[in-house]
Amino acid sequence: MPAMASLRMTTPRRLVLQALLRDPEQERYGLDLAIEAGLEPGTIYPILVAFEGAGWLSSRNEDEGDAREQGRPSRRYYRLTGAGVTAGREALAASSKRRAARPASGELAW
Q: Specify the pLDDT at position 5.
A: 63
- Domains of the chain (ranges; CATH) run 11-101 (1.10.10.10)
DSSP 18-75: HHHHTSTTS-EEHHHHHHHHT--HHHHHHHHHHHHHTTSEEEEEPPHHHHHHHTS---
Q: Specify the pLDDT at position 65.
A: 80
pLDDT digits (tens, 9 = 90+) for 25-71: 999 999 999 999 999 989 999 999 999 999 999 999 998 787 888 88
% of the chain with per-residue pLDDT over 70? 84
